[in-house]
Structure 1
Amino acid sequence: MKIAVIADPHFHDINHRQGVGVGEGAAIRTLADTAASTRVFNESYHATRALLDDIVRRGISLVVVAGDLTDDGQQSTMAAATALLDDYARRFGLRFVATAGNHDLYAIHGRHQSKRFLNTDGSHTLVSSDPAMQQGDSVERIVSDQMYCGGYGTAIPALGAYGFFRREGDLHWECPFGSDDRLEARSFEIVSADGFTRRRMIDASFLVEPVEGLWLLSIDANVFEPKDGDLDPRLEKSYHDSTDAGWNSMPRNKGFVLDWMRDVAARARASGKRLIAFSHYPIVDPLNGTSTDEARLLNDTSFLRRTPNPEVSKVAAATGIKIHFSGHLHINDTAVFRDGDDFLVNIAVPSMVGFPPAYKIVDVGSDRLGIETVTIADVPGYDAAFPYYRIEAAREGLSARVAEAENHADFLSRHLAEMVRHRYLPKEWPQDLARLVPQLTLGDLDAFAGSLLPLTVEDATAIVGREQDGAGAMDALPLFEVIVDWYRLRKGREIALDFIDPARIAAYRLTAQRYAAGSWPQGSLQDRLGSFMRMMMDWLDSQPSRDFSVDLATGEVTSSAHLGRTVRRQTGAA
């Protein structure tokens, strides 16, 4: 039996601008907003279709969706995304089983959404569900209820065909509250940190047996904890956003779900069911133990905020759930947590709207799971928004390098480079290091590693460009391009090797060895750069993340033979 696991499609309908009639306005998001985001928007329209087409070609009929099906849960977007899945279910017999992501819904009452859409002259129009939203530098503002992101009461019924309610033909269905699938029977009380504010919230977790012997456990790890104070429960600001909370908030706010997981795991073992769990958020540290180095090197990053702490992984592993798939971070990773005899394998699934564009195929065996990672480089129509981008870039003085991409994977690789330039360096990196990056090369990093004296950023400028004995061909490589490769490895692990010249990887290993051989005071430039190189090596040498198998009895992860790896294209840096 084979299952496809996809995550974070973030589907956006580029053919219908909310607030105007169908066919009266293309809904192309701006290049500026795309460059500033961790995901691309317009490309999801064709990428989601290419993803589903690939699944159909492989003869797979059961598809798990690990959250964020929609762009931002807008009513019209939700309708378009579910219509697309329903079309593939009708035409090709696909069965979808999903969990809701933080972009699909918000608490009970939902929240406003506002987006900027390009006009034919490169200007943009703001479309918002919020009448109080200011127009800003858009040439027009349209207020439309279709932009509103719903809460549990509207979003879950919209997604209902994907396992959230009992379906005829299912061999088993239940939720943490029993066999009653009505939303009103699936509510619980959630309390603010000070204990004074109480709200009724819905939990959308469920267990379904779609085919004989297979249990799919969809865990709703969205936690909308009310903030302290008697705030209006209808407002977004009255809750802590689940985006950064994830599993770290589950034991405190949804302990009943963990108790239910333990019971489900025990019953699965007793009845010989193959149990596969999934939620939107990672349940084991996806940074592979590099969190300490990341905290030392960088400012407060989204990865660090969204990393589950070891105590949470310990509690989750104790439930007996062995295999868990996650999305949310748009990365390709395999992480294993062990505590005595307990273990938990978290398989992070990439997204088609962030580097690398890929999904997972699970081959369910009697004692092992085989995992294949499929990268989809070619997407018909991937460049549909490129003409709009070029017009906007000319009007606003922006770079249109991403619009030179040769395929979808190349586009996402270039987009990542632009994120490094415009988002990660200015927002995540300490200012002194960010200012130094444009001046340095890989050869300079080697030179710093060869200095026995600890250096400051100010000291570094005296060494920059100094010729070194035995300088290699890679010494002139700009540090910015090294950092882009660093992020490619951070997000793609093994898949990133398809996008990085092997000569670069060899040079990075030599530089990392030089730093590993040295010792400098904490906080010195070499100490900080040593953390940078150490993380890169940890990602290069981490658990197999492309094609591997998992022993269901021991949690042992074994890499499948993967020969003939080739470099597709090195892009998006300079």
Structure 2
Amino acid sequence: MVKIAVIADPHFHDITYRPGTDVASAIRTLADTCGSTRIFNESYHALKALLDDIVRRQISIVIVNGDLSDDGQAATMSSAAALLRQYAATHGLRFFATPGNHDLYAIHGRHQSKRFIDADGGNTLVTSDPAAAIGRSTARVVTAEMYCGGYERALRDMAEFGFFRGDEVRHWETPFGDSDDLEARTFEIRSADGETVRRMIDASYLVEPVEGLWLLSIDSNVFEPKPGDRDPTAEKSYIDSTDAGWNSMLRNKPFIFDWMRDVARRAAEGGKRLLTFSHYPIIDPLNGSTELEAQLLGNTSFVRRSPAADVALAAAATGIKIHFSGHLHINDTALVRDGDDFLVNVAVPSMVGFPPAYKIASFEGDRLEVETVTIASVAGYDAAFDLYRVEAAATGEDFRDLLDASDHADFLSRHLAEMVRRRYLPKEWPADLARLVPELTLADLWRIAGVSESLNAEDVRPGPKDEVHAWGAVPFMDLMVDWYRLRKGREIAFDFIPADRLEAYRVLARRYAAGSWTASSAQARLASFLSILESYLDSNPSRNFAVDLRTGRIEARPATYLGRTDLRQMGVA
């Protein structure tokens, strides 16, 4: 039995080297971290901890599901690739990667700019763009080491990770044949009006690392030219697939679907075990609640990044059966079925976003077994904390809650809470509902559900304390943060939310489901919010499970990993 580790979105950032300088500290500002969907500096030690865990489990084949680097900067890509080479040389790990949207950009690449904390708490802007404004920084450094390369540069940096034919593989091919010459791996891509045409590299490949195992890496990045005769070297000349993902694949790379179908057929005929992976999810990552979320919140990033139904069905029709994705930093298992066709998408979490985990896959007869490993403890998780405190003192920012984190997983859980306050509530939620979140408790939500009259959110006010329900004093803000924990972590989130609070959420959801109000009322929208939460609680098994490769049935498996009790002992549950 061959076990395969699947990791996603390491976003590795080298905190020991500041590009373009002789400064041995490259700590990104915590203010920028709090405004991002991922943490930056902690990736340095987190990726090492993850790889050490893989080594400890004696797994040798490792899939990297895109976004190996922070943002594709030349210096960062070099450091990230060097780390993987070190583990390959020292521990015998064999890496097979797919490109992510942060690893490269179109033909010629694009500029990158980052802020690094200085000893006095100020920050220096380090950029590849000579025209970049210094902004709130006190100094600026311009260096080509910050530039994110295009396809050719990035693939050369990651050459050993499956993108070119290796000496130790039994089979290797691309959609274009068996040549690994990049010039032979291009296709024509047009703007929406058909007038602007570019030749773009596709980095997909099929490899057989050991007898009987086929790994199909799909390059799901698409860089579509914008209409008009634009400069092919400029970032603004392209529409990238960060949001579109596989939706853009069906329109711009239909030849990939034909190749997937051919590979799946040959795998079945030859008795090969086929595991497909790409950076973007190929099935709705919200497990069917996307429409409800769109009605409640509008066109959120999750909604924009959800593959359309026709895309999922087209992928299922190819016969690949199993697909592992990254990009969204979530833990999820989704299934699409169309007659005898089915496809399971396994969304792999990231070590730089809640929850910190990776997947282990193994084929057992007609089943694929999947185990999810949470990495709660990371040596050096607080390596940047001293500089964060200096930054806080200099800027007046209050980072105390973040800096009280007890370990890596706790830091990510607290970072998610900061994202809810600083990003999700102000940017995704309707202002009238967002106003209620810091004001109300669960007791208030219970009381509002008992009002038969449809209320406007503007008319809702906090009420008296609830003497009946022990959970009544829980702030609505805690529920909101837990909603996002469940959205991103599914079953893993259970380790970070007290069981009595989860039960309280179910009780509230049932109370709202029994009511009837006008669609625009506060109660109806809260009912939708809680209905989505219930779908997260009752989604497909996403932690330890098996997929029947004949029927597509997904069955939960007992836990054999670090569990809830251990996490509580570490103070993160």
- TM over 0.5: same fold? yes
Q: In structure 2, the residue corresponding to 1:451 is in which secondary structure?
A: coil
**Equivalent residue in structure 2 for 1:466, among 464, 489, 502:** 464
Contact 2:406 2:572 in 1 (8 A): no
Is 1:438–2:435 an aligned residue pair?
Answer: no
Query: Could you tell me which residue of structure 2 aligns to residue 527 of structure 1?
Result: 524
**Equivalent residue in structure 2 for 1:537, among 531, 534, 542:** 534
Alignment of 1:117-128 (within 5 A): 117-128=116-127
Instruction: Give 1:447 deviation, angstroms.
Output: 1.0
Query: Could you tell me which residue of structure 2 aligns to residue 17 of structure 1?
Result: 18
Contact 1:116 1:138 in 2 (8 A): yes
Quote the Cα distance in structure 2 between the aligned partners of 1:518 and 1:466.
22
Gaps of 5+ in 2: none
Instruction: Give 1:448 deviation, angstroms.
Output: 1.2
Give the % identical residues.
Answer: 65
Q: Deviations over 1:178-231 (max 9, x none)?
A: 001100000010000011110110000000000000000000000000111111
Letter in 2 for 1:535: I
Quote the Cα distance in structure 2 between the aligned partners of 1:311 and 1:422.
35
Instruction: Give 1:566 deviation, angstroms.
Output: 3.6
Q: In structure 2, the residue corresponding to 1:549 is in which secondary structure?
A: strand
Letter in 2 for 1:424: Y
Quote the Cα distance in structure 1 between the aligned partners of 2:170 and 2:297.
49
Alignment of 1:489-504 (within 5 A): 489-504=486-501
Contact 1:474 1:504 in 2 (8 A): yes
Query: Could you tell me which residue of structure 1 aligns to residue 544 of structure 2?
Result: 547
Query: Could you tell me which residue of structure 2 aligns to residue 254 of structure 1?
Result: 253
TM-score, normalised to structure 2, is 0.97
Letter in 2 for 1:484: V
Alignment of 1:497-516 (within 5 A): 497-516=494-513
Instruction: Give 1:52 deviation, angstroms.
Output: 0.2
Query: Could you tell me which residue of structure 2 aligns to residue 7 of structure 1?
Result: 8
Is 1:339–2:332 an aligned residue pair?
Answer: no
Query: Could you tell me which residue of structure 2 aligns to residue 43 of structure 1?
Result: 42
Alignment of 1:195-206 (within 5 A): 195-206=194-205
Instruction: Give 1:377 deviation, angstroms.
Output: 0.4
Instruction: Give 1:557 deviation, angstroms.
Output: 0.4
Quote the Cα distance in structure 2 between the aligned partners of 1:498 and 1:96.
30
Alpha-carbon spacing, 1:56–1:572, altered in 2? closer, same or farther (3 Å) = closer
Contact 1:4 1:64 in 2 (8 A): yes
Alignment of 1:174-573 (within 5 A): 174-400=173-399, 401-461=401-461, 464-467=462-465, 471-562=468-559, 565-566=564-565, 568=567
Deviates more, 1:131-140 or 1:291-300: 291-300
Aligned length: 568
Gaps of 5+ in 1: none
Q: In structure 2, the residue corresponding to 1:351 is in which secondary structure?
A: coil
Q: In structure 1, the residue corresponding to 2:453 is in which secondary structure?
A: coil
Instruction: Give 1:25 deviation, angstroms.
Output: 3.4
Quote the Cα distance in structure 1 between the aligned partners of 2:92 and 2:405.
34
- Write out the 4+ residue segments of structure 1 that deviate beyond 6 Å after TM superposition: 570-573
Q: Deviations over 1:80-124 (max 9, x none)?
A: 000000000000000000000000000010000000000011100
Contact 1:172 1:210 in 2 (8 A): yes
Alpha-carbon spacing, 1:414–1:100, altered in 2? closer, same or farther (3 Å) = same
TM-score, normalised to structure 1, is 0.97
Quote the Cα distance in structure 2 between the aligned partners of 1:94 and 1:562.
25
Say what the alpha-carbon RMSD is for the aligned residues: 1.4
Q: In structure 1, the residue corresponding to 2:207 is in which secondary structure?
A: strand
Instruction: Give 1:565 deviation, angstroms.
Output: 3.9
Query: Could you tell me which residue of structure 2 aligns to residue 144 of structure 1?
Result: 143
